[in-house]
Structure 1
Amino acid sequence: MDMFNYVMVLASVIIGLGVTHLLHGIGGIVQHPKREKLYWVHLLWVAAIFLRAIFWWWFEFRLSSVQVWTFTLFLFVLAYAFLIFLWCALLFPRDLAGYDGFKDYFYSRRRWFFGLLLAGQVIDVADTLLKGMAHFRSLGPSYLVSIVALSVLLVIAMRTRNERFHGALAIFAVVYLLAYPWLVFDTVG
């Protein structure tokens, strides 16, 4: 087993636990739809984070070309996976005791959620650079523009409870994540 596969096994377990957490949360909603008050913005973020988690495997495949793996790189990949797990965990708490449904919970945890998504922006740039300058340049200026623009939106999301803003941002996130892989990456592998 080469080092890339070795590292990705553990990272995949971490991501898999996050995806499992999201699917378990959705399963609970399907099984008991009236138990908790649902919130459409929260559900869109569940979809966005699900997409981000599963696309992570595709995006990380470029690390298979790394010739020398260091302990720092190993920790970096695991930290990225752990961050994605945290996004998943924040969307579905163990219980909603003390909250008036998912809407109340979502807004009470928005600083954590969007703060961790903002950290993901920084890690994504570092991850892209680790894949080589040729890869970084291949993404074009739109990559950096999107990172900066999304980072600004995430900072605003941390500070505001404006439902229209949060709804628009959640819709944008899902559309962006559905379009981005096909616009930027070769879909063949």
Structure 2
Amino acid sequence: MSPFEYVSVLISIILGLGITVILTGLADIIKRWEMISMYWPYGVWMLIVFVLHIQEWWITYSLRAEMTWTLPLFLFIITYPIVLFVLAHLLFPQKWSKAGLDLKQHYLNNYRKYFGAALLLVVISILQNHFVLDYAIEEQLGQFFVAFVFLTLLALKQIPEKMHGALAILMLLLLGISFIFNPDELILK
């Protein structure tokens, strides 16, 4: 077993747990559909967090060329999947009420936690891209923009409801654009 194969197992387990949380939460919503009040920005965030899990699993393969693994490097690499897992867990309520669930209210009660975790993901991504994958800071302007957006929104006392929808669409568009402009990350070599 190569060192990459060894460390990728735990990364895959953590990502798999996050995907499980998302799919289980989605299944719970579907099972209780009649008692659920949906909120479309919440649905977009579920999709984004799911795609980020898959994308991280896919991109982790690019670390296969890393010959020397140290515990600090591994701990640094594993922070992103851990925060993704936490974000997935934050999306869904701890307890499901028998009376139903208003996902808009759930989202509005928790969006600061989502945005804080998302900001942490972006910061970790910038640092990993720079120090592990050798991306220049100038190559990460998109990540800096996203970090600025989340930081700004977290600084506001209240965010207008329309801005939540606009942010969800913006993040979905940025995710799609990243796939278009980074096609090499979509191919295993």
Q: Output the TM-score relative to the length of structure 1.
A: 0.88
Q: List per-residue Cα deviations over 1:51-87 (Å, max 9, x = no partner).
A: 1110011222221111211101111222211101011
The share of aligned pairs that are identical, in percent, is 28
Q: Which amino acid in the other structure matches residue 172 of structure 1?
A: L
Q: Distance in 2 between matches of 1:106 and 1:188?
A: 35
Equivalent pair of 1:38/1:101 in contact (CA under 8 Å): yes
Partner of 1:14: 14
Is 1:118 paired with 2:119? yes
Number of aligned residues: 184
Partner of 1:38: 38
Q: Distance in 1 between matches of 2:100 and 2:29?
A: 16
Q: Distance in 2 between matches of 1:22 and 1:40?
A: 16
Q: CA shift at 1:96, angstroms? A: 4.7
RMSD between aligned residues: 2.0
Hey, which bits of structure 1, 4+ residues long, moved more than 6 A?
Answer: none
Q: Distance in 2 between matches of 1:43 and 1:157?
A: 19
Q: 1:148 aligns with which of 129, 144, 151?
A: 144
Query: Relative to structure 1, is the Cα distance of residues 99 and 70 closer, same or farther in structure 2, using a 3 angstrom cutoff?
Result: farther
Query: Relative to structure 1, is the Cα distance of residues 86 and 46 closer, same or farther in structure 2, using a 3 angstrom cutoff?
Result: same
Q: Which runs of 5+ in 1 are unaligned?
A: none
Q: Which runs of 5+ in 2 are unaligned?
A: none
Q: Output the TM-score relative to the length of structure 2.
A: 0.88
Partner of 2:68: 68
